[in-house]
Structure 1
């Protein structure tokens, strides 16, 4: 499932929720939409969706509560519980692919966070933040080009260097400055 498809599905599910004949969408719509919000890292919308789901649907749909449990762990940045919850549930067919993608993007965000925030971190913390087993974690760190000291069990992440685009031309800067000064004068 691509990001573009997920965005389209989210729009469709939001439309279905708004246009539900009784004002209450189906449990599947709520489950899928909540899972997509987690995938998109849109925790505020996930929280508001959870609050507006009728209590009767929450009570009759345990999977919905499990999806929300993942959201709560994400909200608290408790990565170990995120992975534990994701891996302990047999997700229904309607949300299985989305929840699998949630795990992938959470791991990617964790790796990016580690790369930006740490010059050194324990292997145990990397495992906790990525949900990877020790051997897999070491191999993944090495593949990323990070240093791994087996004796001290420390990982030395390398910050990803993103290429900067060409700086704006002098004419573009002058135009923006002129536009701004004109705005201030009016």
Structure 2
């Protein structure tokens, strides 16, 4: 499942929910909730959870499991996120999406570690990435991060985050004024 497919799927599920005249099947809610988690759109996930009919929530244990992951994401409790993700055998309905959720959480954690720390314990990196120490130390070295085996300290290298250039308010106002003037002529 690539990102473009997930975008289209999320759009169609949101449209189904908006246009629904009665309760939707549980799998629609499961997929949509999982996609919100994948996107780290925790506000929409929370509002969706509140909109889901109680009988659907209680009749679908997997929906509760997905929401459990979301609650830990909200709290930024990384060890519990991974524990919650891996304590369930996900159905075919959401299995691939939940794997993507784990991957995206791990990628955000790695980015956070690289931006926030110049030196951090291997245990902290393991907790934030959900990886076992031996795998984690190898992954750190593969990323080019320095790892001191004797002290178990990791020295991350800052990941260059692409900055989105934003136009200033003055520029936006100028463009808007220009556009309105054009329309008036």
Counting only pairs closer than 5 Å after superposition, residues 6-155 of structure 1 correspond to structure 2 as 6-22=6-22, 24-155=23-154
Cα shift at 1:139: 0.4
Partner-residue secondary structure (3-state), 1:159: coil
Cα shift at 1:21: 3.1
Partner-residue secondary structure (3-state), 2:99: helix
TM-score by length of 1: 0.87
Partner-residue secondary structure (3-state), 1:107: helix
Residues 152 and 35 of structure 1: is their aligned pair in 2 closer, same or farther, counting only changes over 3 Å? same
The list of structure 1 runs, each at least 4 consecutive aligned residues, that deviate by more than 3 angstroms after superposition, is 161-165, 176-180
Aligned to 2:5: 5
Map Cα deviations across residues 28-57 of structure 1 (whole Å, 9 max, x no partner).
000000000000000000000000101100
Gaps of 5+ in 2: none
Gaps of 5+ in 1: 168-172
Aligned to 2:156: 157
Aligned-partner Cα distance in 1 for 2:26–2:162: 44
Partner-residue secondary structure (3-state), 2:93: helix
Aligned-partner Cα distance in 1 for 2:51–2:7: 21
Q: How many residue pairs are counted as aligned between the two chains?
A: 175
Partner-residue secondary structure (3-state), 1:93: coil
Computed over aligned residues only, the root mean square deviation of the Cα atoms, in angstroms, reads 2.5
Aligned-partner Cα distance in 2 for 1:74–1:157: 23
